[in-house]
Structure 1
């Protein structure tokens, strides 16, 4: 466990912890995050157990968490974090071929997914998602999960339930959900649908309520399940 706090970090900077068993990955993530002066990396950990100890020592708002790690993996760590009273936002790092973890992480209320091989700007956007309560879904993860489901691995019953929930949405809400399921941000959806960003946020909020889910990641999951059954 390596503390990397700096006295120069701004008081209002987003406080982030990096958790990955590969030192090279941690170094890359730290360099990306350090490029944004409004982000402060409070520390690093090589596994889930170290991460929990780190969070006991340092106030943290966002945890960037690898899935596959020794001692305590990302899913087990996420489960323990969700049992805490003041849970930081958790962004899961994944790779192609690890889509089996996506569903379990969603059920545990993960705040976002990122591909390790994705655009570095995706990481910065995901960390700053906290400013407007957005969960984040990188386009690469969106496509990976959708492809996995279309190969028939989703249970038909779950897909039917997803279709029923989505049926409660208005046509415009479904348009918005379809765009966010592709990994689009609120601003990008606003541009695609020629809406104000505040209107998109209102549609997302309404869709979350109607579908009975917790966040936009779960909305995307419903759409993927429904599409897998329909396909």
Structure 2
């Protein structure tokens, strides 16, 4: 299956570089480009990409609000990776809370970009645990952890802790000595209990409630 990617960045050279990297892969294709967040919703509806590479800071509409609009208006929305210059950018944390599936740094190597696109297209998140910990540490912990923590089974709690460390389903399965399908089931169950849209929001919630403590 070919993974289609929409490129969103206000810098033409960055879009051209990403297009060259992605277009050279047999399993990836560039669905289209946009130079501002204000154009993204229409482009997503028209092109139906699998993944959006979304610049965070754009002049008219930033990637955070563009992400919110896509997730609110598009049934079965694409996966969204926000792209930023600085890993401790507060915009990144806001974008992840808004529903983005992960983030990349603009200085990422071509192989890291390709791996990121394939990961999120396959259902995994793209988190950098050190950056998420640092961003979460800057926010006061919420006091509602007990409400959902008590509903998690011991194994679901283990899975969530490993998710917060940036582990993929396959890595979690290997560490817990279970099958990837079992991990997928646990992830689905804990997302339902946390009322989280996806893995990223579950990890954010885990940090914000103190279930996982930034170190």
Shorter-chain-normalised TM-score: which range?
0.7 to 0.9
The residue number in structure 2 matching 1:147 is 134
Aligned match for 1:85, one of 62, 69, 74: 74
The two structures have a TM-score, normalised by structure 2, of 0.83
Report what 2:19 is aligned to: 30
Of 172, 182, 194 in structure 2, the residue corresponding to residue 199 of structure 1 is 182
Match of 2:2 in 1: 13
Contact 2:79 2:101 in 1 (8 A): yes
Aligned Cα root-mean-square deviation (Å) = 2.6
User: Is contact 2:164-2:212 (8 Å) kept?
Assistant: no
Q: Note the C-alpha offset of 1:173.
A: 1.4
CA apart distance, 1:182: 1.5
Task: Select 1:209's aligned residue among 192, 199, 205.
Answer: 192
Q: Alpha-carbon deviations, 1:160-212, whole Å to 9, x = none?
A: 21354233212221221111112111111112222211111111111112222
TM-score when scaled to structure 1? 0.78
Once the two structures are superposed, the pairs formed by residues 106-125 of structure 1 within 5 Å of their partners are 106-118=96-108, 120-125=110-115
> Could you say what secondary structure the match of 1:69 adopts?
coil
Q: Confirm whether residue 190 of structure 1 aligns to residue 173 of structure 2.
A: yes
Cα deviation for residue 129 of structure 1 reads: 4.2
Aligned mates of 2:19, 2:3 — CA distance in 1: 13
1:8 maps to: none
Unaligned 5+ segments in structure 2 are none
The alpha-carbon distance between structure 1 residues 119 and 188, as it changes in their structure 2 partners (threshold 3 A), is farther
Q: How many residues get paired? A: 213
Name the CA distance, whole Å, in 2 between partners of 1:175 and 1:35: 39
